[in-house]
Structure 1
């Protein structure tokens, strides 16, 4: 019997359990290569082919890809994990179980996935599954020790940290109910708690929260004198962009989603490309740079190319040397395209408590354990105020959190969706939402309810092309965050001395709109009682 797979297949690459490519802190940064090594390039291409095959329901083809890799010597936990999913798709539960065993034997340390992923339900009744979970837990604990995960953080009780214990209990409960895989809370630089909801710590794909870390790379390069200014033209690094509208695009435009670079609401077209940086370079600029805001994955992938041109190192290698190693973060993986470019739009996998250390660096204005890592000026540039006049919540790849924030579905967006063929009966369900400021925390839930789930929401975004939702705010920013799909969240609240990370692996436990954890900001900021 063929089974439904609940893990969104477009994120399967992101959720695989690849061994880290970054060197330990005591080792030199990886050498820069002009092109990826052939075996690694072949592996990435094979995994992408397998992912596309599974998206198309061709599980036999995906399994064949994984078997070829395995028989060719690529006997890793990642390949085995892919093969298990492909086997489930073909209905061969016994083979899927064997592939999971191989994944665990080779270090897969994700007991939470084994416990919660709905795709694996057919296997949980099989003899030996509980032992498999236990071995994965052992792997996770071993990886935490070897990876120095969370090192350098002192601990404090909620009372010592001045947090409301009832508010914290409510927050943890809500995090679990929203399908969270992890929740981490720091106050004044001390670790108040880590919660893993039946699992253990593991590297989790941060999705678009990766973009906030990419912004730090640009700031570090400015600090290093490798980039003259955030207002430097992209053509400084890619001379082929010196003419026309492309010649007017600056790094600030790329960082603020105002480059005018042609983009879609989803990233599926990007995943079809063998070279994400080249794909961005060859795309058209369709709006005057700075004239409008449109969330742009291509632009952030291009920033990965800028980092390489400016530093002589790949994005992941540069950040390992300049950011992660100084923070004591060793167990990091960064997804790459088939040509070996680290993604800018997503792809950073790290432990939630280590992600919190990045937030703590921001809170401490760029200083870690007495060492200046990043300039305070760059942190202010990214997070202190809106980066452009079109979206008041957008900093430079960081998002500002206001006292009150609203999303507005404009009539222009509905009209554009209608012109592009969205059924009138579907659009009629949105009539009472059009033009109404709806609290940001409730907006996506209400939109999802009317459109039958997140697939309907994505269809609206695609059909409305380049007409974005509008954002309205009240009051002043009181925090800032990096955020990504499925509710990957890193919140920094400077006035409260608070850093909170919530991460989640999409496993089918809860609907996708629930996974977004719309109450996160409100609950996190309620942890510190009013003075």
Structure 2
């Protein structure tokens, strides 16, 4: 944990330098500007919005694509029943929203990354060595299977969301045994995220929890569309079940693109955003597998070990993202001043993040292409 702290504090220094220049921020609505038509824009649209057959569950099926550049909405397109006022299920991009809510709580001094989870969520006391920072890196060490419809009988997450665990998801996760020591490896886990959502309850007064995401995050950002489902125990399903319009999710992206600042208010501590953007490294210093986005603090990072290729080679290494099942994505490209939201219903695995980013960069930041 000390090494991780030093890594993300060094990133704070890198992110915090330089003078703040004039910036555009959304008010009740985004300021808009048109993007000139041309072959690059046509190529982006052809990939994102191919001919759509509502009877076929396969291929690339984008419901919404939205691009913010330097705080201005420069591209927006919808398909099917979706539109600018349609809240869309974010699936696991919800996890990164939860990280932002926790970032506000962190800034309010309600917890530290090195605190034991059981101190905030007593049912997790059976795992006394697991810290909140471990959960944020999906490194609890619990025996967890994050498989979906392809292997439902062995899936921990399917059982949590839909069968045995759905009434009290955090308690269901807490009942799992340890597979390895916490912090030894990062294994993507919706269970870790839902325990974090339950731990948030223990950080707050009894009457604060129900509206805390709105008071802490959504209202300061001007987000009006957010819906966040809870399980029967009253805990927000931090892994999966937030709904927002594409325009509102883009506000979260702009917050992160500008290092946790919203206007003249530092809503998320810079140290927290740096932690979100610091890659998990196990105690032996082993990097993530080559060709994969790597976990940060409940965000995904386009980073690679020295000599290895980026997962998204067409995008800058500083790119990070909130990602969800069936193609949901919130991409943040800090150096290019870009925030890209994609809502989708992909079912066959043919969609490629790098392909969309390559085509988007060709339109909105061609100088960033390798």
TM (normalized to structure 2)?
0.76
Give the direction of change, closer, same or farther, for the CA distance of 1:316–1:359 in structure 2 (3 Å limit): farther
Work out which of the residue numbers 93, 96, 106 in structure 2 matches 1:209.
93
Deviations 1:20-77 (A, max 9, x none): xxxxxxxxxxxxxxxxxxxxxxxxxxxxxxxxxxxxxxxxxxxxxxxxxxxxxxxxxx
Quick check: 1:403–1:478 contact (8 Å CA) kept in 2? no
Distance in 2 (alpha carbons) for counterparts of 1:179 and 1:338? 32
Specify the SS of the correspondent of 2:62: coil
Work out which of the residue numbers 169, 192, 198 in structure 1 matches 2:74.
192
Alignment map for 1:78-97 (pairs within 5 Å): none
Specify the SS of the correspondent of 1:284: coil
Matched, 1:158 2:31: no
Deviation of 1:515 (Å): 4.9
Larger radius of gyration: 1
Distance in 1 (alpha carbons) for counterparts of 2:189 and 2:244? 23
Quick check: 2:120–2:203 contact (8 Å CA) kept in 1? yes
Matched, 1:263 2:147: no
Deviation of 1:385 (Å): 3.7
Quick check: 1:156–1:191 contact (8 Å CA) kept in 2? yes
Matched, 1:294 2:178: no
Quick check: 1:402–1:475 contact (8 Å CA) kept in 2? no
Q: Which residue of 2 aligns with 1:398?
A: 299
Distance in 2 (alpha carbons) for counterparts of 1:387 and 1:187? 32
Q: Which residue of 2 aligns with 1:220?
A: 104
* Unaligned ranges ≥5, structure 2: 1-25, 51-59, 148-156
Distance in 2 (alpha carbons) for counterparts of 1:399 and 1:373? 21
- If asked which structure has higher relative contact order (CA below 8 Å, sep 6+), I would say 2
Distance in 1 (alpha carbons) for counterparts of 2:175 and 2:169? 10
Work out which of the residue numbers 63, 68, 71 in structure 2 matches 1:181.
63
Matched, 1:338 2:232: yes
Specify the SS of the correspondent of 1:212: helix
Matched, 1:248 2:129: yes
Deviations 1:423-452 (A, max 9, x none): xxxxxxxxxxxxxx99857xxxxxxxxxxx
Distance in 1 (alpha carbons) for counterparts of 2:38 and 2:315? 28
Matched, 1:171 2:44: yes
Give the direction of change, closer, same or farther, for the CA distance of 1:254–1:404 in structure 2 (3 Å limit): closer
Alignment map for 1:371-386 (pairs within 5 Å): 371-386=265-280
Deviation of 1:379 (Å): 0.8
Work out which of the residue numbers 213, 221, 224 in structure 2 matches 1:319.
213
Distance in 1 (alpha carbons) for counterparts of 2:256 and 2:330? 11
Work out which of the residue numbers 313, 319, 333 in structure 2 matches 1:493.
333
Deviation of 1:514 (Å): 2.9
Distance in 1 (alpha carbons) for counterparts of 2:209 and 2:354? 31
Deviation of 1:340 (Å): 2.5
Q: Which residue of 2 aligns with 1:519?
A: 355
Q: Which residue of 1 aligns with 2:119?
A: 236
Deviation of 1:215 (Å): 1.0
Quick check: 1:304–1:315 contact (8 Å CA) kept in 2? no
Quick check: 2:120–2:201 contact (8 Å CA) kept in 1? no
Distance in 2 (alpha carbons) for counterparts of 1:286 and 1:182? 39
Give the direction of change, closer, same or farther, for the CA distance of 1:385–1:283 in structure 2 (3 Å limit): closer
Deviation of 1:391 (Å): 2.5
Distance in 2 (alpha carbons) for counterparts of 1:220 and 1:368? 12
Give the direction of change, closer, same or farther, for the CA distance of 1:475–1:348 in structure 2 (3 Å limit): closer
Distance in 1 (alpha carbons) for counterparts of 2:47 and 2:305? 21
Alignment map for 1:41-120 (pairs within 5 Å): none
Distance in 2 (alpha carbons) for counterparts of 1:152 and 1:285? 47
Deviation of 1:386 (Å): 3.8
Q: Which residue of 1 aligns with 2:172?
A: 279
Deviation of 1:345 (Å): 1.0
Deviation of 1:511 (Å): 4.3
Alignment map for 1:460-475 (pairs within 5 Å): none
Quick check: 1:402–1:474 contact (8 Å CA) kept in 2? no
